[in-house]
């Protein structure tokens, strides 16, 4: 009887050791770290979208301010409004972040809006009466703050993507990523196309 009880205790201890060992092995294989890194990247992407949405929300105020004071810039203002409409129509969810085409589509739309907005703001520099308006000054301050938020959000997202992509490609996390989750790399984000942030030189013929 005592021998049987001893064997049972030994078996129980063995099971506990095996369970602990398996848990440690699974943990080392990215069972927890891979989804944690993925969710972190998705949360950072939500911050990117929120920052861009904040910029889009500011544009109607700009439209109302510029429309009367700089009527000659109507075509550029129209470009801004149309670009805003396209940019806000494209949404990329966390599930889409493995699809380069969808991320690039969002990126292209935001870059187009950035270019149109930069051109408009460069042109209205020729209107002192507009620059002196409190509403326009407030908008410029808000848009500057928003652009900073966008840059920070994009940097944070790309860092999170780099961490996640590294995890799913390197041992031992790559084991769990492939076997348990079928993980795919997330797509990093480029805030603007090269040169899009540079407003063109505008000559109104006022130098004479």
State the helix-helix crossing angle for 33-69 and 74-89, rounded to 10 degrees.
160
For residue 153, is pLDDT > 80?
yes
CA distance 96 to 104: 11
Q: Which two tokens stand for residue 63?
A: 């439209």
Q: Is 182 helix (H, G, I), strand (E, B) or coil?
A: coil
Confidence at 41, pLDDT banded by 50, 70, 90: very high
Kindly report the CATH number that applies to the domain delimited by 31-181.
1.20.1440.20
Over residues 1-22, the pLDDT tens digits come to 555 555 566 556 545 444 444 4
Give the alpha-carbon dihedral of 87, 103, 141, 64, to 10 degrees: 0
Q: What's the pLDDT tens digit per position in 85-140? A: 999 999 999 999 999 999 999 999 999 999 999 998 888 777 877 777 788 888 88
pTM for this entry = 0.77
Question: Measured on CA atoms in the order 16, 17, 19, 20, is the torsion positive or negative?
Answer: positive
Do residues 127 and 206 touch, judged by C-beta distance below 8 A? no
| Residues across the chain | 208
Do 71 and 50 meet the contact criterion of CB atoms below 8 Å apart?
no
Confidence of residue 79 (pLDDT cuts 50, 70, 90): very high
Task: Summarize pLDDT for 178-188 with one digit per residue, the tens.
Answer: 887 789 999 99
CA distance 109 to 130: 28
Output the pLDDT for position 108: 95
CA atoms of 207 and 45, how far apart (whole Å): 46
Mean pLDDT, residues 44-51:
96
């Amino acid at each position: 009887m005592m021998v049987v009880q001893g064997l049972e205790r030994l078996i129980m201890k063995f099971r506990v050791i095996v369970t602990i060992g398996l848990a440690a092995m699974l943990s080392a294989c990215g069972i927890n770290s891979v989804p944690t890194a993925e969710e972190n990247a998705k949360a950072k992407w939500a911050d990117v979208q929120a920052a861009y949405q904040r910029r889009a929300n500011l544009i109607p105020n700009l439209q109302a301010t510029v429309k009367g004071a700089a009527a000659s810039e109507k075509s550029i203002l129209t470009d801004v409004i149309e670009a805003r409409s396209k940019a806000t129509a494209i949404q990329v969810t966390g599930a889409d972040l493995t699809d380069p085409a969808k991320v690039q589509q969002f990126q292209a739309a935001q870059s187009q809006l950035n270019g149109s907005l930069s051109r408009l703001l460069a042109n209205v520099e020729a209107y002192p009466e507009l620059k002196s308006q409190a509403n326009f000054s407030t908008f410029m301050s808000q848009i500057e703050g928003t652009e900073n938020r966008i840059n920070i959000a994009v940097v944070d997202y790309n860092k999170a993507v780099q961490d996640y992509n590294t995890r799913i490609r390197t041992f031992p996390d790559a084991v769990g990523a492939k076997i348990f989750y079928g993980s795919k790399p997330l797509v990093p984000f480029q805030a603007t196309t090269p040169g899009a942030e540079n407003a063109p030189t505008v000559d109104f013929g006022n130098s004479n």
